[in-house]
């Protein structure tokens, strides 16, 4: 009954002439967006370019005020990483300016034969008031365009800069492989002591298998879960990534064995 009632409420709008529908939809102007804690969504846990990969970065301003974003690039060891960006040149950071309700896209500028580079990025957002809460940043990394071959890509939303705990499901069955990239930043020591808890779906109870991730802080690493922990091969479950000495951001990707397609796995971030 509720579903039918909802449909009936749409009838008067659908019955309006097209011009009247547009006028009714825009009479109030743009709606005010609300993105809780998006001012903290500033860490892109995985940046990859060259070696057959390409990266794009999108910045969206869901507010009427002008905003500027400086995106810093870092390598695996936390040092500044020079990245070639179309129309900007090669540098360790790039400045992006967004008008009210504005959207900008920048992308890496590889040439054939460039070596593979991996790392991460951190955004610093400058705004006139509380409009930093209405900025959304994400990256898309894709296989390079090769004639005769499909292009595969995955979206990486910026992670919370405060997050010490990130969780992902994984599925390494039937030839599928789950990969993970981790960033340790905002460190209290040079050793972030990042750890991963594995929980397997076929094991009852609350048993977790914990492993330490060898990395420095700040730092970045990436690996396939079966390579990191062979027991996760051909199994299903979830992982928890955390540190007591650094903030941690991470992403997970699921790779299809049939042709190289991959997709992002949803993450759950825990802020204590």
Q: What average pLDDT does the structure give for the chain? A: 84
Structure tokens at 80: 């500044």
Q: How confident is the model at residue 71 (pLDDT cuts 50, 70, 90)?
A: very high
- Average pLDDT for residues 6-16, to the nearest whole number? 33
Could you state, in order of their start, the residue ranges of all structural domains in the chain?
38-159, 162-270
Could you tell me if 269 and 247 are in contact, meaning their C-beta atoms sit under 8 angstroms apart?
A: no
108 CB contacts (<8 Å, ≥6 apart)?
Answer: 49, 50, 54, 55, 56, 83, 84, 85, 86
162-270 shares the fold of 38-159: yes
User: pTM for the whole thing?
Assistant: 0.82
Measured CA distances, 76 to 66, 146, 177, 218 (Å)? 33, 27, 22, 8
Q: How confident is the model at residue 5 (pLDDT cuts 50, 70, 90)?
A: very low
Asked if 162 contacts 42 with a C-beta cutoff of 8 angstroms, the reply is no
Average pLDDT over residues 193-205: 94
Q: Which CATH architecture has domain 162-270?
A: Sandwich (2.60)
Q: How far apart are CA 126 and CA 19, in angstroms?
A: 39
Reported as a single tens digit per residue, the pLDDT across 15-59 is 444 444 444 334 444 555 555 556 788 999 999 999 989 999 999
Question: Which CATH number applies to 38-159?
Answer: 2.60.290.11
Q: What is the mean pLDDT of residues 58-75?
A: 93
CB atoms within 10 A of CB 232: 24
Report residue 14: phi and psi, to 5°: -65, -25
> What tokens were used for 58?
């999108």
Most confident of 2-16, 68-82, 249-263: 68-82
Q: Which residue has the higher pLDDT, 243 or 14?
A: 243
Tell me which of 57-61, 160-164, 240-244 is least confident: 160-164
Tens digit of each residue's pLDDT (9 = 90 or more) over 123-139:
999 877 655 778 899 99
DSSP assigned state of 90? E
Residue 130 vs residue 268, higher pLDDT: 268
pLDDT value at 263 more than 60: yes
Residue pair 123/71 in contact (Cβ under 8 Å)? The answer is yes
Residue 109: pLDDT band with limits 50, 70, 90? very high
- Please check the confidence at residue 98 and state whether its pLDDT lies above 70: yes
Specify the DSSP class assigned to residue 150: -
Per-residue pLDDT, 251: 93
């Amino acid at each position: 009954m509720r579903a039918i009632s909802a449909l009936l409420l749409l009838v008067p709008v659908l019955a309006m002439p097209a011009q009247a529908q547009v006028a009714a939809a825009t009479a109030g102007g743009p709606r005010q967006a609300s993105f809780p804690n998006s001012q903290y969504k500033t860490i892109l846990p995985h940046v990859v370019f060259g070696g057959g990969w390409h990266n794009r970065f999108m910045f969206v301003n869901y507010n009427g005020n002008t905003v500027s974003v400086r995106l810093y690039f870092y390598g695996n060891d936390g040092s500044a990483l020079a990245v070639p960006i179309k129309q900007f040149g090669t540098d360790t950071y790039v400045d992006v300016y967004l008008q009210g309700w504005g959207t900008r896209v920048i992308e890496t500028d590889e040439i054939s034969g460039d070596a593979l580079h991996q790392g991460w990025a951190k955004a610093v957002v400058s705004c006139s008031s509380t409009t930093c809460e209405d900025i959304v940043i994400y990256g898309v990394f894709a296989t390079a365009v090769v004639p005769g071959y499909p292009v595969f890509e995955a979206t990486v939303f910026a992670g919370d800069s405060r997050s010490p705990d990130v969780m992902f499901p994984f599925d390494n069955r039937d030839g599928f492989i789950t990969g993970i990239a981790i960033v340790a930043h905002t460190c209290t020591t040079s050793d972030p002591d990042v750890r991963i808890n594995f929980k397997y779906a076929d094991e009852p109870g609350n048993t977790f298998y914990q492993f330490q991730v060898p990395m420095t802080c700040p730092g970045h690493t990436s690996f396939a879960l079966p390579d990191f922990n062979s027991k996760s091969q051909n199994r299903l479950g979830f992982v928890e990534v955390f540190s007591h000495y650094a903030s941690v951001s991470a992403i997970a990707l699921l790779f299809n064995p049939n042709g190289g397609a991959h997709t992002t796995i949803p993450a759950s971030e825990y802020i204590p």
